Amino acid sequence: MSIIKVTDLTKIYNKTRVPVYALNGVSLEFSEGEFTAIVGPSGCGKTTFLNMVGGLDKPSSGAVEISGTNLASLKPGQLTDFRLHNIGFIFQAYNLIPVLTTKENVEFILELQGVPAGEREKKILPLLESVGLSDKLNNRPNELSGGQQQRVAVARALASSPKFILADEPTANLDSKSADSLLDIMLKMNEELKVTFIFSTHDSRVMKKARRIITFEDGKVAGEEIR
């Protein structure tokens, strides 16, 4: 079942006299339970594509539909609410809130969703245990390693029970051991919970574990491999 449908997606930046096409007519669909990597050289449009699918940026033309909802049809407040309840994000730079503990960083998104405190507790603790951080509940980000911070980000992304998770270069700042551990956690979540993961990556370790690889080049889909 398709949960993401992207049709003729184009993003043009007019910072010079010659228009720059970050995306140029991309059409793709993604189904529930995918573990997909979008790959290609720097500047090929990977991150721009994820930003469009996540509703973080608007296309110049084309459409993004999430479970039948066209993102362009939503007003700014509606789009924010839609992202909150449907899309999880994992960023290269972790994007944790420095003054909050591990538990509070993961809990924050549930607070935004209006989930009662008792229910938040029941959901957060098993999640943090599943990513190996049950002993780091009260640590702040500066007391955690890069790998641990990214695991907090994974738990935070999963906490909102999203339809899918967009992961932009999630292993880029990690050493090999931390990257392998993080990928194993995400693959387990994908297999056990059927959470859809879409990666933007240069990392060969992500590519090896992906079941679908989409190659971008010059803002277009240049190739695709299903495993």
Q: What is the pTM of this model?
A: 0.94
Give residue-wise pLDDT tens across range 32-42: 999 999 999 98
For the chain, the three-class secondary structure string (H helix, E strand, C coil) is CEEEEEEEEEEEECCCCCCEEEEEEEEEEEECCCEEEEECCCCCCHHHHHHHHCCCCCCCEEEEEECCEEHHHCCHHHHHHHHHHHEEEECCCCCCCCCCCHHHHHHHHHHHCCCCHHHHHHHHHHHHHHCCCCCCCCCCHHHCCHHHHHHHHHHHHHHCCCCEEEEECCCCCCCHHHHHHHHHHHHHHHHHHCCEEEEECCCHHHHHHCCEEEEEECCEEEEEEEC
User: Does residue 112 belong to any structural domain of this protein?
Assistant: yes
pLDDT in tens, 179-227: 999 999 999 999 998 999 999 999 999 999 999 999 999 999 999 999 9
Residue 98 C-alpha from the chain's centroid: 20
Task: Tell whether 210 is covered by a domain.
Answer: yes
Range of the domain at 114: 32-62+72-226
Q: Which tokens is 170 given?
A: 């999630």
Residue 132 lies in a domain: yes
Confidence class for position 30, pLDDT limits 50, 70, 90: very high
Contacts of residue 129, defined as CB under 8 A and 6 or more positions apart, other chains included, come to none
Residue 214 domain-assigned? yes
Report, as an integer, the average pLDDT of 11-16.
81
Six token digits for residue 99: 């003054």
Is 157 part of a structural domain of the chain? Answer: yes
Mean pLDDT along residues 62-75 = 96
Q: Is residue 110 part of a domain?
A: yes
pLDDT at 16: 67
Q: Is the pLDDT of residue 15 over 70?
A: no
> In the beta sheet, which residues pair with residue 4?
30, 66
CA distance 139 to 80: 29
5 occurs within a structural domain = no
Tell me whether residue 79 is in a domain.
Answer: yes
Q: Answer with the residue of higher pLDDT: 139 or 94.
A: 139
Question: How many domains would you assign to the chain?
Answer: 1
- Checking if the pLDDT of 17 tops 80, the result is no
Whether 71 shows a pLDDT value over 90: the answer reads yes
134-148: average pLDDT: 95
CATH number, residue 222: 3.40.50.300
Q: Mean pLDDT across the stretch 135-147?
A: 95
